Amino acid sequence: MKIVAICGAGIGTSGILKVNTERALHKLGLEADVVAADVASVAEVARDAQIILTSAEFVGAIGKTFSDVIVIENYFDTQELTLKLEAALG
């Protein structure tokens, strides 16, 4: 399974999403390849992704995708991440 975390620069905020997503997955007993990327490369990087994680600003820019797009409000709230990942994967 592949999960892509998207932000404007592809570093910084998406990196925090990646780190905390890996923690949430670990809690759920799941494994996935979590990749941080910038919004400009989302079409290519997320082509084979099951889930795209991002903030509300980027939903429009992600465009057409077969992936589940999950919007995260608080990047440090691992409970929010865990619940939303669980809902998408369960």
Partner 1 sequence: MPLPPLPESAIVLRAEAADWRTAVREAGAALTASGASLPGYSDEMIRMIEEHGPYVVIAPGLALAHARPGPDVVADGLSVITLATPVNFGHPHNDPVRVVLGLAMKSADVHLASIAAIANIFNDSEAIDALAKARTADEVLDIMGVAE
Binding site for partner 1 (CB under 8 A): 7-13, 15-16, 18-20, 23, 36, 39, 54-58, 61, 73-78
**Residue 4, phi then psi, degrees to nearest 5:** -115, 130
Tell how far CA 16 is from the center of its chain: 10
For partner 1, the closer CB: 66 or 74: 74
**At its nearest, how many Å lie between partner 1 and the CB of residue 13?**
5
> Count of alpha carbons within 13 Å of 75, Cβ hemisphere only?
15
**At its nearest, how many Å lie between partner 1 and the CB of residue 52?**
14
For partner 1, the closer CB: 44 or 73: 73
